[in-house]
Amino acid sequence: MINIVLFGPPGSGKGTQAQNLITKFNLKQISTGDLFRFNIKNDTELGKQAKSYIDKGELVPDKVTIDMLIDEVKKPTDAAGFIFDGFPRTAEQTEALETIVKEHLNSEISICLALIVEDEILVERLLKRGETSGRTDDSNVEIIRNRIKEYYAKTAEVAELYKRQGKYVEVNGVGEINEISEKLYAEIEKLAPPKGKY
Express each pLDDT in 114-167 by its tens digit: 999 999 999 999 999 989 888 788 888 998 999 899 888 888 999 999 999 999
Statement: residue 193 has pLDDT above 60:
no
Per domain, the residue ranges of the chain are 2-189
Task: Give yes or no for residue 195 having a pLDDT over 60.
Answer: no
Residue-wise pLDDT tens digits, 17-76: 999 999 999 999 999 888 999 999 999 999 999 999 988 888 889 999 999 999 999 999
Backbone angles phi, psi at 134, to 5 degrees: 75, 5
Tell whether the model's pLDDT for residue 194 goes beyond 90.
no
pLDDT single digits (tens) 3-14: 999 999 989 999
**pTM to 2 decimals?**
0.87
pLDDT value for 154: 84
pLDDT higher for 33 or 88? 88
pLDDT at 192: 65
Residue 168, helix vs strand vs coil: strand
Q: Provide the 10 A C-beta neighbour count for residue 156.
A: 9
- Is the CATH code 3.40.50.300 the one for domain 2-189? yes
Environment class of 115 (CB within 10 Å of its CB; exposed 0-12, middle 13-18, buried 19+): buried
Q: Check if the beta carbon of residue 126 is closer than 8 Å to that of residue 138.
A: yes
